[in-house]
């Protein structure tokens, strides 16, 4: 695989940034650790001069070049897993990810991830930008979230898609079931998100710190009767893509996603309801969140493409159960 190069001119609003932090904001889904390794390995040039300092401050109009060498041989074991491919060409793969599957290997999950499945099917025909643990991975969704993701087959496609994510031009729509009814029923949430001070593995709305996160939402259906607390089917469009953004924003609004064990209520007791229906609601053992569609400019043709993923069976069954219970 040939070496690819990422070029960017530093805009005025990033004057004074550390180079590693700036690059992390521009190259989606590349960890700061990976970027720092590239810098230390002499793969980054600032105004055509190789730098090795990860804390180097940059100025407006500086030119930065990042070289992405071919990925070293990976020791991630290929696994044959269902990928549910929606689209596949020479540059991209679009997948409808099933719930319960991790996107890429990490602590405690080194097999049967999307990456393991991609290596089984595509071998070396994946981008190297994400390193040996994330070949082809441009973005990700949570393990227990289902829906559409795009994978890059080459570094040029990966860099192009990453820039679209960084520029917030990607169109992303999610469906979710949340407790209660949102007020107003349609609106925009603009709240900064950063690591929780109580649990560093989780995210939280923090007014003074964090990155701005914007979620547009609208209510599609409210399920309720005398023996069933309100549960709403909503649609969310992301203007930004922060970690756990929808889950954090909905919990902040007081309408946590049904089944979310980390952000809100996991189970609910009902006063009078058919036990079978109550069990189906309480036994939905993950957050009821589905990445419904994804739209972007194709990295080669520059034409707009749009992909939609059907809800998984458990999500559809739950909606049917709620419709029945609310009659």
Query: Beta 304-308 vs 203-205: how paired, if at all?
Result: unpaired
| Matching residue, tokens 């923090």 | 206
Q: Is the peptide bond before 184 cis (omega within 30 degrees of 0)?
A: yes
106 assigned to some structural domain: yes
Indicate whether 243 and 108 sit together in one domain: no
The DSSP secondary-structure symbol of 35 reads H
Is the distance from CB of 282 to CB of 267 less than 8 angstroms?
Answer: yes
CATH number at residue 159: 3.30.2350.10
Residue range(s) defining the domain that contains residue 57: 4-68
pLDDT in tens, 281-318: 888 889 999 999 999 999 999 999 999 999 999 999 99
80 assigned to some structural domain: no
Indicate whether 53 and 177 sit together in one domain: no
Residue 107 has pLDDT above 90, yes or no: no
| Matching residue, tokens 């064990």 | 261
pLDDT in tens, 254-278: 999 999 999 986 667 677 777 878 8
Mean pLDDT of 83-91: 97
This prediction has a pTM of 0.79
What are all long-range contacts of 119-123, with beta carbons under 8 Å and residues at least 24 apart? Answer: 119/74, 119/76, 119/77, 119/78, 119/79, 120/78, 120/79, 120/80, 120/81, 121/83, 122/93, 122/153, 123/78
**pLDDT-derived band at 150, boundaries 50, 70, 90:** very high
Indicate whether 90 and 200 sit together in one domain: no
pLDDT at 225: 83
Q: Which of 142, 220, 152, 150 lies closest to 186 in space, CA to CA?
A: 220
Which residues, other chains included, contact 125 with Cβ-Cβ below 8 Å and sequence gap of 6+? 153
pLDDT in tens, 162-218: 999 989 999 999 999 999 999 999 999 999 999 898 888 899 999 888 889 999 999
Between 140 and 326, the higher pLDDT residue = 140
Q: How far apart are the first and last CA of the chain?
A: 58
pLDDT at 73: 56
Residue 95 has pLDDT above 50, yes or no: yes
Where does a domain end: 142, 166, 190? Answer: 166
Residue 227 has pLDDT above 80, yes or no: no
Catalytic residue, candidates 4, 20, 62, 142: 142
Between 50 and 131, the higher pLDDT residue = 50
Is the distance from CB of 96 to CB of 310 less than 8 angstroms?
Answer: yes
Indicate whether 104 and 134 sit together in one domain: yes
Where does a domain end: 19, 35, 68? Answer: 68
307 assigned to some structural domain: yes
pLDDT in tens, 51-79: 999 999 999 999 999 988 876 554 788 99
Give the CA radius of gyration of the chain: 21
73 assigned to some structural domain: no
75 assigned to some structural domain: no
188 assigned to some structural domain: yes
Whether 62 is a known active-site residue: answer no
Locate 319 and state its tokens.
């909606």
Indicate whether 112 and 212 sit together in one domain: no
77 assigned to some structural domain: no
Mean pLDDT over the full length of the chain: 90
pLDDT at 250: 97
Indicate whether 185 and 209 sit together in one domain: yes
- H or E element, residue 187: strand 186-195
The total number of structural domains that make up the chain: 3
pLDDT in tens, 14-46: 999 999 999 988 886 677 888 998 999 899 999
pLDDT at 2: 44
Where does a domain end: 166, 181, 201? Answer: 166
How far apart CA 158 and CA 88 sit, in angstroms, is 15
């Amino acid at each position: 695989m040939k070496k690819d190069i990422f070029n960017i001119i530093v805009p005025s609003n990033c004057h004074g940034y550390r180079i590693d932090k700036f690059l992390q904001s521009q190259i989606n889904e590349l960890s700061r650790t990976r970027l720092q390794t590239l810098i230390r390995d002499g793969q980054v040039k600032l105004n055509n001069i190789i730098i090795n300092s990860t804390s180097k401050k940059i100025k407006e109009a500086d030119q930065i070049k990042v070289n992405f060498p071919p990925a070293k041989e990976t020791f991630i074991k290929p696994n044959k897993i269902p990928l549910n491919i929606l689209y596949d060409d020479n540059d991209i793969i679009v997948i409808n990810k099933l719930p319960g599957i991790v996107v890429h290997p990490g602590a405690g999950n080194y097999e049967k991830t999307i990456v393991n499945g991609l290596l089984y099917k595509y071998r070396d025909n994946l981008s190297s930008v994400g390193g040996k643990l994330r070949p082809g991975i441009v973005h990700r969704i949570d393990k227990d979230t289902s829906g559409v993701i795009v994978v890059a087959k080459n570094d040029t496609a990966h860099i192009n898609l990453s820039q679209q994510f960084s520029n917030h031009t990607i169109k992303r729509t999610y469906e979710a079931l949340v407790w209660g009814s949102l007020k107003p029923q349609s609106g925009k949430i603009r709240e900064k998100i950063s690591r929780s001070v109580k649990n560093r593995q989780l995210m939280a709305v923090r007014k003074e710190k964090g990155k701005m996160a914007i979620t547009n939402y609208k209510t599609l259906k409210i399920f309720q009767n005398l023996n069933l607390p309100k549960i709403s089917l909503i649609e969310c469009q992301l203007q930004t893509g922060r970690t756990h953004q929808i889950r954090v924003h909905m919990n902040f609004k007081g309408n946590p996603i049904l089944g979310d064990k980390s952000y809100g209520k996991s189970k609910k007791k009902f006063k009078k309801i058919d036990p079978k229906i109550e069990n189906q609601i309480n036994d939905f053992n993950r957050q009821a969140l589905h990445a419904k569609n994804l739209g972007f400019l194709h990295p080669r043709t520059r034409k707009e493409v749009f992909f939609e993923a059907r809800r998984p069976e458990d999500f559809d069954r739950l909606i049917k159960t709620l419709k029945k219970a609310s009659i």
